[in-house]
A and B are shown apart, each in its own frame.
Chain A
Amino acid sequence: MALPIMGEMSEGQRGSLIYIMETIIKLTEVNKIYRTEEIETQALENVNIDVQKGEFLSIMGPSGCGKSTLLNIMGLLDEPTSGTVELCGTKIDPTLSDNRLAEFRNKTLGFVFQSFHLISSLNVLDNVQLPLLYRGVGYNERMKRAKEVIERVGLSHRMKHTPVQLSGGQCQRVAIARAIIGNPEIILADEPTGNLDSKMGADILGLLKQLNEEDGRTIVMVTHNEQQAQQTKRIIKFLDGRQIM
């Protein structure tokens, strides 16, 4: 559906809209096939998804249904076999250079993974500032912003700790701080509560909701937890690589 722009709206229309919807992620006819010498597996089949700016979308489905593959393709961590991906109005051309893709990931996307993927040799402060490091932000600015986001996720007292010295919930908070430090438009969370107990899981989900509601960040979350998915604004369900709802 084509969205009306403000200038074309009637007085009544303007009054009835709270905000204008804008597609920030657009997947068109996306297929992903994994091939080995013996077998061919279709992980995604003709997937078409539009995610609007400011949405909190959850993708649900059983294990192996292709939801993580979808998230990886949205996050430019993997390439579709066919189909197109648009992020923030930019069509991701498969011929884009490694450097250009790295820059895009750095500025536009933030990731939260089920197993945290923190770097064990770095402390909390150094882990969190990674995206800014690769953006070429100066040391003082990096430190200032890292401290701000660490404080926001409630870990000011753990800045010098390394991941092995933290609990699972704390690790995921660090991962969220790392995801938001670069102010990305989109946060992609792959089973962010999958390795946590229910209390910690609820805590992390609360943090993600806060980021969505207060900062207006677009969040796409993969989960198989129905209860958590219900707390997001929209749910897409997957089965055997196909979108079923």
Chain B
Amino acid sequence: MKILLLYIKHALHMMREEKLFSGIYIAGTALAIAFTMVMAIVYYVKLAKIYPEVNRDKMVYIDNLCFMDKEGRVHSTCHFSDYAFEKWFAHAKNVEYVAPIYSKSDRISVGNGKRNIIGKNGKLIEVESQVTNHDFFNIFKFEFLKGRPITREDVEQHNPVAVITNDLAEQLFGKDVDPVGKMIGEEGDEYRICGVVKGASPLTPVSYAQVYVNYSYYYQNMVYDNESLSGNYIGGFSVIATVKDNAQYQALKQELDATAARWSQIMEGEPISLTHTMSNHAQHVVEIENELVPFHSFTDWDLVKPYVGLFFILLFVPAINLCGMVAGRMERRLSEMGVRKAFGAKRNTLLWQVVWENMVLTLTGGIIGLVLSWVALYVMRDTILTMFFDSDLLNDTTFVSGEVLFAPLLFLGALLAMLLLNLMAAVFPAWLSLRKPIVESMMEKR
């Protein structure tokens, strides 16, 4: 412990003595960590289990209905209608839960996500809505502050019910009024509020909305003509489900392939696929980010290579620079190391000393980097979030929650990144220098 304190004392003295070196080292580390932290926070939001998307490890996305040509290639794609959902997915055996959701593209280009409701003062306000079923609230674990979710009975009986967020409830009715049982919407499109949830962030776009309405009520008057089957399947929905494990995922794939084969026979001359765009959460995120067209075949390497390059730039390039700086500094300290060895210091002891000195610098840089990343996310929130998230869904209230900023896993990851930087930058050049003969080291100009 005492020797550790001496190392730290020595490191602090060195920081005062070598201000330029220490400053550049700390700034380099801080920037690398800040960028890494911003990226880590962004990908934590996209990939980790965060409210209310806590089932991400079990989630399955089926985005498109694909029409195939005779050679087995996709010639066109579309989203599903509520009819298609009912026929093909609602009663699937190999799922835990399955729900229709407005597809991302339809929410934006067709405006399916927007809905007008009458506000407190009688004016129409536009809110973000989702049209879905009861299973949606099993897939996404919303915290119900009041009331209940949409139920199976609501779906079966086409009840005009909706779940709203606490922020919208407050905006519409104020703080002191219980919104459960009240009606929202506009004439001809009204719903009774059955529950109030703690809202999701636009940073979790699959679960984000301000109003969640019962899809069976919304579509109850649609007429589907069995004479023109192909037209009946096209709509604005994607499908989201949860499976217990990989075995069930594979079973679901087989089940949907069988369904598609059966319906392909019914729709003569137009084979379809329901699994061509089936993906888990991580695949789904990467597909969207890289704008991989759903029927494009890609390998695992295609998926990860942009991130490998990104993290290489963010972590390793600064680390290599720092490595060069430490090597230069070790050359200047050769004489000191020689003296220490002359008085009995072992090579490992000195190596640890260098590691600790750099640890002090790296930790200082790391802490500054962490704070910088939080400041950047606060001050440059719009710029950063627009770069990585769907800007159409972002609004003034978009926030990065404390759960994300202070997530233990993220912090551990950042610490590991710092350690990696430290090891790369300090140990190797120090180890090389310490292998030099003592006399040679001591004769170096100080």
Q: Given the complex of chains A and B, what is the CA–CA distance between A121 and B340 in angstroms?
A: 13
- A131 nearest CB neighbor, chain B only: B343
Q: Give chain A residues whose Cβ lies under 8 Å from the Cβ of B3.
A: 133
Q: Give chain B residues whose Cβ lies under 8 Å from the Cβ of A79.
A: 437
Contact between B343 and A130 (Cβ–Cβ < 8 Å)? yes
Q: Give chain A residues whose Cβ lies under 8 Å from the Cβ of B99.
A: none
Please indicate which of the listed interface residues A77, A98, A126, A178 has the most CB atoms of chain B within 10 Å of its own CB: A77
Task: Answer whether residue A139 sits at the interface, using C-beta atoms and an 8 A cutoff.
Answer: yes
Contact between B349 and A134 (Cβ–Cβ < 8 Å)? yes
Task: Answer whether residue B347 sits at the interface, using C-beta atoms and an 8 A cutoff.
Answer: yes
Residue contacts A-B, CB under 8 angstroms, 20 given: A77-B342, A78-B438, A98-B346, A99-B346, A102-B341, A102-B346, A103-B344, A105-B341, A105-B343, A106-B343, A117-B338, A117-B442, A120-B336, A121-B17, A130-B345, A133-B6, A134-B346, A138-B2, A139-B2, A182-B344
Task: Answer whether residue B335 sits at the interface, using C-beta atoms and an 8 A cutoff.
Answer: yes
Size of the chain B interface, CB-CB below 8 angstroms: 26
Q: Given the complex of chains A and B, what is the CA–CA distance between A96 and B446 in angstroms?
A: 29
Task: Answer whether residue B10 sits at the interface, using C-beta atoms and an 8 A cutoff.
Answer: yes
Residue among B14, B336, B345 making CB contact with A134, cutoff 8 Å: B345
Q: Digitize B167-185: 1 where CB-to-A-CB distance is under 8 Å, 0 elsewhere.
A: 0000000000000000000
Q: Give chain B residues whose Cβ lies under 8 Å from the Cβ of A14.
A: none
Task: Answer whether residue B308 sits at the interface, using C-beta atoms and an 8 A cutoff.
Answer: no
Task: Answer whether residue B87 sits at the interface, using C-beta atoms and an 8 A cutoff.
Answer: no
Q: Give chain B residues whose Cβ lies under 8 Å from the Cβ of A138.
A: 2
15 extra A-B contacts, CB within 8 A, seeds A119-B336, A121-B10, A134-B343 = A72-B439, A75-B342, A98-B346, A99-B346, A99-B348, A102-B345, A111-B343, A117-B342, A117-B442, A118-B339, A121-B14, A122-B13, A130-B343, A134-B349, A182-B344
| Contact residues on A (Cβ < 8 Å of other chain), bracket | 20 to 34
Task: Answer whether residue A237 sits at the interface, using C-beta atoms and an 8 A cutoff.
Answer: no
Residue among B14, B344, B442 making CB contact with A131, cutoff 8 Å: B344
Name the distance in Å between B16's Cβ and chain A's nearest Cβ: 9
Q: Give chain A residues whose Cβ lies under 8 Å from the Cβ of B340.
A: 119, 130, 134
Given known A-B contacts A117-B442, A121-B13, A133-B3, A105 and B342 have beta carbons under 8 A apart: yes
Name the distance in Å between A155's Cβ and chain B's nearest Cβ: 18
Please indicate which of the listed interface residues A102, A105, A130, A139 has the most CB atoms of chain B within 10 Å of its own CB: A102
Q: Given the complex of chains A and B, what is the CA–CA distance between A135 and B344 in angstroms?
A: 7
Q: Given the complex of chains A and B, what is the CA–CA distance between A60 and B340 in angstroms?
A: 27
Chain A residues packing against B (C-beta within 8 Å): 72, 75, 77-79, 98-99, 102-103, 105-107, 111, 113, 117-122, 126, 130-131, 133-135, 138-139, 178, 182
Q: Give chain A residues whose Cβ lies under 8 Å from the Cβ of B439.
A: 72, 77-78
Number of residue pairs across A and B with beta carbons under 8 Å? 70
Please indicate which of the listed interface residues A119, A126, A130 has the most CB atoms of chain B within 10 Å of its own CB: A119
Q: Given the complex of chains A and B, what is the CA–CA distance between A179 and B346 in angstroms?
A: 17
Contact between A119 and B344 (Cβ–Cβ < 8 Å)? no
Contact between B10 and A122 (Cβ–Cβ < 8 Å)? yes
Q: Give chain A residues whose Cβ lies under 8 Å from the Cβ of B442.
A: 77, 113, 117
**6 interchain residue pairs of minimum CB distance:** A106-B344, A134-B344, A121-B13, A77-B438, A139-B2, A117-B339
Please indicate which of the listed interface residues B17, B340, B349 has the most CB atoms of chain A within 10 Å of its own CB: B340
Q: Given the complex of chains A and B, what is the CA–CA distance between A83 and B442 in angstroms?
A: 24
Name the distance in Å between A161's Cβ and chain B's nearest Cβ: 14
Q: Give chain A residues whose Cβ lies under 8 Å from the Cβ of B13.
A: 121-122
- A162 nearest CB neighbor, chain B only: B13
Q: Given the complex of chains A and B, what is the CA–CA distance between A107 and B343 in angstroms?
A: 9
Q: Given the complex of chains A and B, what is the CA–CA distance between A99 and B14 in angstroms?
A: 27
Q: Given the complex of chains A and B, what is the CA–CA distance between A120 and B10 in angstroms?
A: 10
Contact between B10 and A102 (Cβ–Cβ < 8 Å)? no
Q: Give chain B residues whose Cβ lies under 8 Å from the Cβ of A182.
A: 343-344
Q: Give chain A residues whose Cβ lies under 8 Å from the Cβ of B336.
A: 119-120
Q: Give chain B residues whose Cβ lies under 8 Å from the Cβ of A99.
A: 346-348
Q: Give chain B residues whose Cβ lies under 8 Å from the Cβ of A75.
A: 342
Q: Which residues of B74-103 have CB atoms within 8 Å of chain A's CB atoms?
A: none
Q: Give chain B residues whose Cβ lies under 8 Å from the Cβ of A103.
A: 344
Q: Given the complex of chains A and B, what is the CA–CA distance between A107 and B344 in angstroms?
A: 8
Q: Which residues of B421-440 have CB atoms within 8 Å of chain A's CB atoms?
A: 437-439
Q: Given the complex of chains A and B, what is the CA–CA distance between A131 and B2 in angstroms?
A: 15
- A69 nearest CB neighbor, chain B only: B439
- B437 nearest CB neighbor, chain A only: A78
